[in-house]
Amino acid sequence: MKWYELRAEDVKEKVNTDFKHGLSKDQVSERLAQFGYNELQEAEKPNMFLLFLEQFKDFMVLVLLAATLVSGLLGEYIDATAIIAIVIINGFLGFFQERKAEKSLEALKELSAPQVMVLRDSNWIKVSSKELVVGDVVKFSSGDRISADVRLIQTNSLEIEESALTGESLPVQKKVEPIMGDKVGIGDQENMAFMGTMVTRGSGVGVVVGTGMKTAMGQIADLLQSAETMVTPLQRKLEQLGKILITVALLLTFLVVLLGVIQGHDLYSMFLAGVSLAVAAIPEGLPAIVTVALSLGVQRMIKNNAIVRKLPAVETLGCASVICSDKTGTMTQNKMTVTHLWSGGKTWNVTGTGYNPVGGFFAGNQEIHPSNVKSIGQLLTFGLLCNNATINKKKKEYVLDGDPTEGALVVSAWKADITRDLLNNQFIIEKEFPFDSSRKMMSVIVRDSNGKRFVVTKGAPDVLIKNSESILWDEKQQFLSDRLKGEVEKAIENLGGQALRTIAVAFKPLGPTQSVYNEIEAETNLIFIGLQGMIDPPRDEVKQAVQECKEAGIRTVMITGDHIVTATAIARQLGILPEGGKVVQGTELSDMTVEELEEIVEDVYVFARVSPEHKLKIVKALQKNGHIVAMTGDGVNDAPAIKASDIGIAMGITGTDVAKEASSLVLLDDNFATIKAAIKEGRNIYENIRKFIRYLLASNVGEILVMLFAMLLALPLPLVPIQILWVNLVTDGLPAMALGLDQAEGDVMRRAPRNPREGVFARGLAWKIISRGFLIGGVTLAAFMIVYYRDPNNLMYAQTIAFATLVMAQLIHVFDCRSDRSVYHRNPFENKYLVFAVLSSILLMLVVIYYPPLQPIFHTTAITLRDWLLILGLSAVPTFLLAGSLLTKKKA
């Protein structure tokens, strides 16, 4: 279908829709049922059974299964069945862990799917892009990603970047008129917007003509199916480390078998013991547990309103040393209310709160009606004319639809009885030049009922004043002399000093047929009318969050488009700007090289009146100084800085699709305090991963050493294969998972950020693993030897004692793993999962030892009470002995 050839009216007929009311609910469900969701097909997923089988592809597991089969054939049915059962249970556990990790990653993808504004049953609503159908009327603006193929019916300076389809990175100017021609390539279909392209400027309305695989993107979708898998640096490091650990474990196991055979043990039983030991000691489950810990942490973050889009960010979060954050909406509430008006050297106060349009205008103590003062009437009227926000009354509450800055202007006008309905009867908007953060202005071309035309501009006052040549003063138009300019600047400083955000309004008349081609023509030679000053109160929680970040060694830097005085006042209120801290303006930044910025950036706490382009420079300078930078943003132009930063953060509410796609973290509530919470979670997740790595590896070291020492000392096997496998399944598995869910240590936000280059085993972890592993192995062997020499004829009893000591030593040691310092630093009952895991492990151990039908399977026999004292005494040694010695070291 050549949609570009058709007139908008014909398109409407063809797709059976209504431009005014959109589709109805019924039409949408019918079309969804018939044509399906607006999704690109994904590569087929491997089948579940195959995924399950994957769990057994490990070489050592296969050897174990083969060995078991042999022992089964030789008549050792009980052993063989038990071993196979344990291997299968282990496989199931691994399988479920992987599924869980995968599922939560999928859920994440869903959460970050783009939303679209669509006209349905006469209302503009937001729906997930996959619910679009042919015939839907959609609108989009700068920063949106187009979600289907759309024939445009209305454009407003609309430009779209189509490189995803055409490879051309220069944006294309869009229009609505039909295009004739036989072969019009995608790049030339200027009245179409295609799925996967992005709006870089302006806004537009269109009707969906293609969805899912029936879009231009769908045709080439096969090329796009290389879904990137998300592996974090830690996971990659662990994979490499895993290979080393496997080799070491295999070598040691081989040594155990060799020594055993030399000492006269029979080859067959040594072989089975060796293979079991290898299966138990190889931490093959480590990557899966890491993924689970990461994804569980990610879910906790979602509960705290932070969505992780790129898994590696979870780790990087813990390294962040600087947060560069927007002010408006992130540190402040973005609920603006005009409280001051200024024009011609006079100031009026405006009363009332929020978006409720009730309030009065006061000059000093005297109430006045703005209709009696021409300049104030114009200031309010023009503030509303050049404005896209609406305030609607919903259930007694006044609700804003649109930009809060503009909402405040709607309300201030309303308080003077100037409403949009009123203006619609008097004025027609001919053209709009939308606001953008680089220009810091917005303009409209307006015609009034007498046919008079003029430009109305509103924007940052310091910019507008530069573009004005006269000013309304004493109700007359006067040349904007240096003196009057000075008066305006004084007024801006005065309002800004009260932490008010200021918007200036200006205008200029146009001839009846005078054309205005671009915003530069529109926004020069203006007549300055006055200022509206609005409060935007800081969010309550931000001050404390800034303070907590400071204690955590993280500096907060405010980057804002707002005026320097306003920014400084708010930064002081929030504790961001310390005594002696520097404030730098966008204009100064433009004149600086990255190197020059590098020199001063450590002292700068506020960047004011910056354009999005400046953010990249700031990120680079900070990174050159060795910082790990978190950078927030919301607009299209923020994307490069978000991408270049170490942790790109996009706003969930006000952020554009483009900013979100560039980011690794999205704040659902746009709140600065959420960044702090995410950093805390990021630090905790990393520490938890270290905790269970420490636990698992120390346990494995213990298991190998007890066997190795026994063989060196020419002792019988202290543990039988099935016991080793049981320990691997129960004692290692459950508590390790529970450690992944551990609470943050109290001081996690009082430490310096982690050095991103530090290895997994940094900060003494390797020493802890080896020393605790040695002790666990040592006490197990000691218990075994004491009981064995007491009664050498009862080997099974001594093996049961060794088994119980190994289990108990690990289960006590797990509490030590919760702290980097020692077991005394944390309340052992705090982590309920861990207490539960440890109690269940103990219970299962008791069942295996005391339940007669299981005794022959696990080669166990009941232990006497007196020997339990021995077991408990010895198994407490690794944890308490070293903790004690560390404590004394600390005190010294």
Q: Kindly report the CA angle at 194 between 192 and 200, in degrees rounded to 5?
A: 90
Task: Tell how far CA 311 is from the center of its chain.
Answer: 9
As a whole number of angstroms, the distance between CA 31 and CA 15 comes to: 11
Cβ 420 to ligand ATP shortest distance, Å: 16
The C-alpha atoms of residue 274 and residue 723 are separated, in whole angstroms, by 13
Closer of 534 and 802 to ligand ATP (Cβ): 534
Greatest Cα-to-Cα distance within the chain, rounded to the nearest angstrom? 115
Dihedral (C-alpha) 594, 598, 599, 604: value to the nearest 10 degrees?
110
Minimum distance, C-beta of residue 403 to ligand ATP, in the bound complex (Å): 5
The least CB distance from residue 463 to ligand ATP, in Å, is: 8
Applying CB under 6 A, the residues found at the interface with ligand ATP are: 326-328, 403, 405-406, 435, 437, 440-442, 458-460, 501, 503, 560-563
Residue 745 tokens read as 């240590």
Nearest-approach distance from CB 621 to ligand ATP, in angstroms? 18
Closest contact distance (angstroms) between CB of 383 and ligand ATP is 10
Q: Does the annotation count 536 as an active-site position?
A: no
Q: What is the DSSP letter of 145?
A: B
Pick 82 or 409: Cβ nearer ligand ATP? 409
Cβ contacts of residue 457 below 8 Å, gap of 6+? Answer: 386, 441, 442, 443, 464, 467, 505, 506, 507, 522, 523, 526
- Cα 838 from Cα 667, distance rounded (Å): 37
Cβ proximity to ligand ATP, 565 vs 678, nearer residue: 565
How far is Cα 60 from Cα 499, in angstroms, rounded to an integer? 67
Cα 838 from Cα 732, distance rounded (Å):
10
Which residue lies nearer to ligand ATP by CB, 440 or 859? 440
CA distance linking residue 109 with residue 298, whole number of Å: 12
We find the least distance from the C-beta atom of residue 568 to ligand ATP, in angstroms, to be 13
Q: Rounded to whole angstroms, what are the CA distances from 378 to 336, 381, 383, 413, 505?
A: 20, 5, 8, 10, 9
Of residues 810, 890, 883, 799, the one with CA closest to residue 848: 799
Are 281 and 249 in contact by the 8 Å Cβ rule? The answer is yes
User: By three-state DSSP, how is residue 52 classified?
Assistant: helix
- Tell me whether residue 227 is exposed, middle or buried, using C-beta atoms within 10 angstroms of its C-beta: 0 to 12, 13 to 18, 19 or more: exposed
Rounded Cα gap, residues 211 and 215, in angstroms: 6
Q: Which residue among 326, 436, 536, 732 is the active-site one? A: 326
Distance of alpha carbon 791 from alpha carbon 801, whole angstroms: 12
Give the residue closest to ligand ATP by C-beta: 561
Write 20-23 long-range contacts (CB < 8 A, 24+).
20/122, 21/119, 21/121, 21/122, 22/118, 22/119, 22/120, 22/121, 22/122, 22/123, 22/136, 22/137, 23/119, 23/120, 23/121, 23/133, 23/135, 23/136, 23/137
Least distance (Å) between residue 457 CB and ligand ATP: 8
- Helices 672-712 and 233-262: crossing angle, nearest 10°? 10
Least distance (Å) between residue 527 CB and ligand ATP: 17
Q: Which residues pair with 458 in a beta bridge?
A: 442, 505
Q: Nearer Cβ to ligand ATP, position 256 or 649?
A: 649
Q: How far is the CB of 207 from ligand ATP (least distance, A)?
A: 28
Return the number of the residue (149 or 432) whose C-beta is nearest ligand ATP: 432
The distance of closest approach from Cβ of residue 460 to ligand ATP in the complex, given in angstroms and rounded to an integer, is: 4
Report the residue number, 23 or 442, with the smaller CB distance to ligand ATP: 442
Strand, helix or coil for residue 643: helix
3-state secondary structure 352-376: CCCCCCCCCEEECCEEECHHHCHHH
- Residue 585 CB-density burial (10 A; 0-12 exposed, 13-18 middle, 19+ buried): middle
**Nearest residue (CB) to ligand ATP, 311 versus 503:** 503
What would you report as the CA-atom Rg of the chain, rounded to the nearest whole angstrom? 35
What is residue 449's three-state secondary structure? coil
Instruction: Centre a 10 Å sphere on the Cβ of residue 771 and count the other Cβ atoms it contains.
Output: 17
Residue number, 283 or 561, with CB nearest to ligand ATP = 561
Contacts of the segment 212-221: beta carbons below 8 A, 24+ positions apart: 212/35, 212/36, 212/37, 212/38, 212/39, 212/40, 212/41, 213/40, 213/41, 214/35, 214/149, 215/148, 215/149, 216/149, 216/165, 216/186, 217/40, 217/149, 217/164, 217/165, 218/40, 220/165, 221/40, 221/41
Minimum CB–partner distance for residue 119 and ligand ATP (Å): 23
Minimum separation from the CB atom of position 51 to ligand ATP (A):
45
Give burial (CB, 10 Å; 0-12/13-18/19+) of 8: middle
Q: Shortest distance, CB of residue 611 to ligand ATP, whole angstroms?
A: 8
Which two tokens mark 684? 């905790």
For residue 650, the tally of other CB atoms under 10 A from its CB is 30
The residues annotated as belonging to the active site are 326
